[in-house]
Copies of this chain bind each other. A is one copy, B any other.
Amino acid sequence: MHSSVIDRHLQSFVESCRRHGLKITPQRVAVYRALLESDQHPTADAMFQTVKLTYPHISFDTVNRTLLTFAEIGLVDVVEVFGGPKRFDPDTGDHHHLHCVACGRIIDFIHEGYNGLDVPDAIASKFKVISKRVVLKGLCDKCTGGRP
């Protein structure tokens, strides 16, 4: 990611913290920077390992709590899992997930046909829908070994 893009993200991060009355601490900045560069859907522990490289003194608890705080203010999403540790998604935009049941990878994809899914009236009248996502379970290319 280009440094100018990072700067722009960092600026909106600062504004988001201000809006929610959160202090801008070096730990939070370090976690946020790591999120921007993260491989997809890291666990709290994976984030901890990454952040330690640039901020060796940080504790796991701080990383974990920071991620949960970021999730509360909408800076990251907590993604759906089928067991195991929580996983976080720095991409809060409209996209969908494929879960490989063999290796556990979660692969993002976007698809025109899935955007703006209509919510049935019976649901819309009773529930306030916050987010919509299509979740596919299957086997990824690495795990099928090319066999379809």
Question: Which positions in A face B, CB cutoff 8 Å?
Answer: 78-83, 86, 98, 100-101, 107, 109, 111, 113-114, 117-120, 122-123, 125-141, 144, 148
Contact = CB atoms under 8 A, between A and B. Distances in A.
Contacts of A129: 98, 136-138
Contacts of A119: 136
Given A81-B81, A98-B129, 20 more contacts: A79-B82, A82-B86, A98-B123, A107-B127, A109-B120, A109-B122, A111-B123, A117-B134, A126-B140, A126-B141, A127-B138, A127-B139, A127-B141, A128-B138, A128-B148, A129-B136, A129-B138, A131-B138, A132-B136, A135-B135
Taken together, the copies of this chain in the complex come to: 2
Contacts of A120: 109, 111, 113
B134 A138 contact: no
A136 B136 CA distance: 14
A79 to B, nearest CB: 7
B130 A101 contact: yes
29 contacts: A78-B83, A79-B82, A80-B82, A81-B81, A81-B82, A98-B123, A98-B127, A107-B127, A109-B122, A109-B123, A111-B120, A123-B136, A126-B140, A126-B141, A127-B136, A127-B138, A127-B139, A127-B140, A128-B138, A128-B139, A128-B144, A128-B148, A130-B137, A130-B138, A131-B138, A132-B134, A132-B136, A133-B134, A134-B134
